[in-house]
Every structure is written in C-alpha cells, then in structure tokens.
Amino acid sequence: MTDLASSAAPPRPTLSERAKFYGLWIATALVLLLLPKLFASGGSLTTFSLVGISIIFALSYNILLGQTGMLSFGHAVYYGLGGFLAIHTINILGFNKWPIPLPFVPLIGGFAGLFFAALIGWVMTQRSGTAFAMISLGLAELVASSALILRSFFGGEAGISANRTKLFKVFGLSFGPQIQIYYLVAAWTLIAIIAMYALTRTPLGRMCNAVRDNPERVQFVGYDPHVVRYLAFCFSGFFAGIAGALAAINFEIANSAYLGAVQSGTVLFAAYIGGIGFFIGPIVGAIFVTVLSLVLSDLTQVWQLYFGLFFIIVVLFAPGGITGVLMMHRPLLRAGMLTRMFPSYVMAALPTLALCVGLMLMIETTVHYTVNPHEDPNRVAFGIPFNAASPLTWATSAVLIIGGFILAKMAWSRVTQTWDTTLTAARAKVHAL
C-alpha cells in the first residue's frame, strides 16, 4: 500500500522547474516595475491601471466560471459594492484623520465583496447551471435598481466621490499623481494573481474543478458540492471587491455603472475571450478587451457592435479563447514544425481580412442611414474616409464580403488539412524522441 501511495503521488518539481516557476513571477514583477519607464505618458499609465483592475476582476470571475463551472450574470454586484465601500472608507478616513494609508483601502473593498458574497451565496449556490445564472441575473438587476433608490449610500445617478490625497501619507506618497496610482494597482494586481493562482493549487481548487466536471462523483466520495461552490463564490466575491475598490480609488468616484449589466457582461467577455480553461486566459482576455475597447471607442461610434461580433466569433470558432488557440500550437512548437503553418495562415488571412473590411464598410454605411441619416455622408471609420451615399461604396462592400467569404472558406479548409498533417507529424516526432 505504501508503494502504491508513493507511486500515485505527483513527482516533486526539480530544481530547474522551481527556478523557472519563481523566475516567471520575478520577471512579471520587473515588467510591472519598468513599464512606466517605457511608457511614461498619463494616458499609458491610466490604461495600465485599467488593465490591472480588469485582470483582477476577470480572474475573480474565472473562479466561478472556469474553475467551478458557475455562469454568473451579476458578478458586478461584488465589484460595485466593493467600490462603494472603498469610497465611503476614503471619506471616513479623510474626515477623521485616522492613520490608515490608501494602500490598505482595497482590503476594505475585498472584505465588502466577501461579506455580501457570503451573505447571499449560500442560497445562490444551492444549484448550478441555468438556475444559478438566472438567480445571479435577477440579483444584479435588483442591486443595480437599488443604486438609484438608496441615494444616501449609492448617491443616485451622480454617485459618491472622494479625495484619495487626504488620507494618511506613507513615505510621503500622496497618491495624487497617476504614476503612484499605477504602482498601487500593479502591486495589488501581482498580489491578487499570486493569491488566486495559489488557490487553484490547493485541495479546494482541485475540488472546484471536480465539482465543475462531475458533481455527482464529488458527492459520492464524501464532499458536498454545495459547500465547494459556496467557498468558491466567497473567494470570487473577495477578489471582485478588491478590483472594485481599486477602480474607485483610480477614478475617485463610485456610481451605479459599477453595478450594471454592462460591467458584468464585460468581465464575462474578458474571461471567455481570453480562455476560461487556462489560468492565464482571463489575464490575456482582460488585456485584450480593455485595450480593444479603448482603441475601438476612438475609431468608431458603434464599437460595442464590433465587440459583440468578435465575442460571437470566438464562441463559434474558438471556444477555448485566445489562450486556447495559442496552446493548440504547443505540440508544433516543441517539434519545431510551427513554421510549416505560416504559409497556410498567410493565405487564409488575406481573404479573411478582405471579408472583415467589407463587413466593417457595410456596418459603417448602414449606421449612417439608420443613426445619422441627415449628416454629411463623407465619413471616416478606422481612419479610412469613404462616402456612405456612393453606390461604389455599397458595391465595394458587397464584392469584399462575397469574394472574401468564398476565398476564406477555401483557404481555411486548406489550413485544416495542413494542420492535421502537421500535428500528426509533430506528435510522431515527439514520441520518437
């Protein structure tokens, strides 16, 4: 029995594996430390801060969806309540001159998210699947509507504002400049990532995966799936509250938008687009979604439409998300055969790009006639000028869509054939080694 137990235990990591593991975290910390040296503008620092907040929020959501299999449509509740409690805490600390510095305020938001998650989570986590999703949606709408009614706490439509510079200063830091807020968000982002990764390596994290995959078997071996879901829900609420508190600190305001369906939908998009099957997936998705939303909002007035279309494409053609697509290529990379796919990808990318340009041209032209029909038809979208009233614009759009679709379908069929052949050869090479 001893030999059997020892053989079933996972092998201990070697010295090189441990060095690689800790080296990755150290490298991440160095990147966060040096980013402001490379991108010192105020806009860049604000973007980096938003990305850090989105990473914590997306990873907290993935504790529910990716690790435990609970689809929530109301995760913004704990994000928003954490933000409101953080704002009220800043005002109280500043008014009473208590010697508590700003870097500890995100913990208040985290405990607020934990408190409300623990308060309502026991009932919500009785069931998973559709029942849990519908309960979370109803709760989200209830809290969001209450934000406009309970004005003494939520501040109505204007929200609650605060001045973060009035708090107790540590090492002379007032946290007025954006660079100081960036380092505060970066530090909390790194701490939260490490904590949530460590959670996935614990027995609770493994049981969350088991509940996601087969709750009946978990119950058979002596664990209560409801308790596991409840604990995961509480941890998720805690980290969501930290993200909400950091957002409130960054903007010095908390309003009803923190609690709305848009906020819950955005974190769902970020986690799923990045890839819920991998720990790094929500990180990739948060970076992608945040940067994409900031860029698209400057290029077109219907950027939400493109955002939704991209999400649909990911669901249909890449359910593993961006990270899943990248991880598919690991066998080819190990076998040194990744370059074999490049010609096929290039041939498929050209007609696909033509198809996308045609769709964007059609969308922007349609928007002119449905949203702004009385404005000048000479428009600019994605930096490209065009005349929405010209028949040539419609003809060009139709040619690009039809021709791009036919050629892209043929090209991607060839990509599939090349992929199957290359993957088979790569696996054979790896097994031979």
| pLDDT tens string 103-137 | 999 999 999 999 999 999 999 999 888 899 999 99
Task: Give the residue-averaged pLDDT of 141-168.
Answer: 90
Tens of pLDDT, residue by residue over 209-256, are 999 999 999 888 889 999 999 999 999 999 999 999 999 999 999 998
Torsion of CA 50, 56, 61, 64, to 10 degrees: 180
- Determine which of 16-25, 88-97, 310-319, 396-405 has the lowest per-residue pLDDT on average: 16-25
- How far CA 71 is from CA of 62, 130, 347, in Å, comes to 9, 8, 38
Distance in angstroms (rounded) separating the CA atoms of residues 372 and 374: 6
Task: Give the residue-averaged pLDDT of 40-53.
Answer: 92
- How far CA 261 is from CA of 84, 159, 302, in Å, comes to 17, 17, 18
Distance in angstroms (rounded) separating the CA atoms of residues 407 and 271: 32
Predicted pLDDT at 7: 39
Distance in angstroms (rounded) separating the CA atoms of residues 77 and 237: 9
pLDDT confidence bin for 187, thresholds 50/70/90? very high
User: What are 301-309's contacts with CB under 8 Å, separation 24+?
Assistant: 301/367, 301/371, 302/363, 302/364, 302/367, 302/371, 305/363, 306/360, 306/363, 307/269
Choose between 124 and 431: higher pLDDT.
Answer: 124
Which residues, at least 6 apart from 282, have a Cβ–Cβ distance to it below 8 Å? 55, 58, 59, 61, 62, 66, 270, 271, 274, 275, 276
How far apart are the two ends of the chain, measured CA to CA in Å?
34
Task: Give the residue-averaged pLDDT of 400-418.
Answer: 93
Nearest to 405 by CA among 363, 361, 359, 345: 359
Helix or strand holding residue 295 (H, E): helix 281-299
Residue type, 377: P
What size, in residues, is the chain? 433
Given a cut of 60, whether residue 90 has pLDDT beyond it is yes
The structure tokens 């079933």 sit at: 8
pLDDT confidence bin for 391, thresholds 50/70/90? confident
Nearest to 184 by CA among 235, 255, 254, 242: 242
Distance in angstroms (rounded) separating the CA atoms of residues 54 and 68: 20
Q: 10 Å Cβ neighbour count for 319? A: 12
Given a cut of 50, whether residue 6 has pLDDT beyond it is no
Q: Torsion-angle region of residue 127: left (phi > 0), alpha (psi -120 to 50) or beta?
A: beta
pLDDT confidence bin for 366, thresholds 50/70/90? confident
Given a cut of 60, whether residue 378 has pLDDT beyond it is yes
Given a cut of 80, whether residue 433 has pLDDT beyond it is no
Task: Give the residue-averaged pLDDT of 188-213.
Answer: 94
Distance in angstroms (rounded) separating the CA atoms of residues 296 and 306: 8
CB 87 within 8 A of CB 99: no
Predicted pLDDT at 10: 52
User: How far does CA 57 lie from the centroid of its chain?
Assistant: 7
Predicted pLDDT at 297: 81
Predicted pLDDT at 14: 75
Predicted pLDDT at 11: 64
In 291-376, DSSP assigns E strands to: none
pLDDT confidence bin for 8, thresholds 50/70/90? very low
What is the phi/psi pair of residue 177, to 5°? -65, 150
Distance in angstroms (rounded) separating the CA atoms of residues 285 and 3: 44
Predicted pLDDT at 3: 42
pLDDT confidence bin for 69, thresholds 50/70/90? very high
Residue type, 220: F
Task: Give the residue-averaged pLDDT of 254-270.
Answer: 91
Distance in angstroms (rounded) separating the CA atoms of residues 85 and 91: 10
Task: Give the residue-averaged pLDDT of 4-18.
Answer: 58
Given a cut of 80, whether residue 380 has pLDDT beyond it is no
Predicted pLDDT at 258: 92
Mean pLDDT, the chain, whole residue set: 89
Task: Give the residue-averaged pLDDT of 267-273.
Answer: 94
Distance in angstroms (rounded) separating the CA atoms of residues 187 and 181: 10
Q: The dihedral of CA 221, 222, 227, 232: what is its sign?
A: negative
Q: Torsion-angle region of residue 170: left (phi > 0), alpha (psi -120 to 50) or beta?
A: beta
In the chain, % of residues over pLDDT 90 = 61
- Determine which of 111-115, 137-141, 169-173, 263-267 has the lowest per-residue pLDDT on average: 169-173
In the chain, % of residues over pLDDT 70 = 96
Tens of pLDDT, residue by residue over 272-322, are 999 998 999 999 999 999 998 888 888 887 888 888 888 899 988 988 999
